Amino acid sequence: MQPKTITSSTGTKDLQTIDISLRILHRPIQEFLPSIYTNIGLNYEEKILPSIGNEVLKSVVAQYDADQLLKLREKISNEIKEGLITRARDFNIALDDVSIIHLAFMKEYTQAIEHKQVAQQQAERQKFIVLRDEEEKNAAVIRSEGEAEAATIINEAVKKYGSGKIIFKFFCF
């Protein structure tokens, strides 16, 4: 079993360019070794794996938007793996593992994602400020209603019992 890294620059469904790298653990299928070495050569992995890797990467990645590549990374990785295993079998090569080891977007796309996240955070902050202001307004309304009710009760007491002195006692403990 030998490792091989394949790097490709390819486009997504929404026309974003990405750089993607795969790590492939491969080995020739033993019973086909004479055929592989005779027809392809000793460096079969250098001749076969990069071409089928790029082919499968481009065909799978082109089906997804850049956003989906992040959200569905495991699913897409499995699709790439299955596609590569199938294609490598045609050349009598067994793939034991295929993993995405690097996935990078264009600088402009990365900056756009960062700006979007900052805008979302600012929107959440503004929403919080609006909710806080509404709560403060509701508290002021309730306080005013309580003060108005207290004034009404005092007014009714003055009407009923006269305009005597009203003494408020506060106790501090």
Domain end: 89, 105, 121, which one? 105
Domain containing residue 15: CATH number: 3.30.479.30
| Residues 97, 128 within the same domain | no
**From CA 135, how far away is CA 15, in angstroms rounded?**
46
**From CA 3, how far away is CA 86, in angstroms rounded?**
18
Number of domains within the chain: 2
Residue 173 in domain: no
The whole-chain average pLDDT of the chain stands at: 85
Question: Which residues does the chain have with pLDDT short of 50?
Answer: none
| Residues 32, 113 within the same domain | no
| Residues 39, 92 within the same domain | yes
- In DSSP notation, 98-165 reads EEEEEEEE-HHHHHHHHHHHHHHHHHHHHHHHHHHHHHHHHHHHHHHHHHHHHHHHHHHHHHHH-S--
| Residues 73, 113 within the same domain | no
117: domain range?
107-161
**pLDDT value of position 112:** 72
Q: What's the distance, CA 64 to chain centroid?
A: 15
**pLDDT value of position 52:** 93
**pLDDT value of position 132:** 92
**Is this structure's pTM higher than 0.75?**
no
**From CA 167, how far away is CA 169, in angstroms rounded?**
6
**pLDDT value of position 167:** 62
**pLDDT value of position 71:** 85
| Residues 7, 79 within the same domain | yes
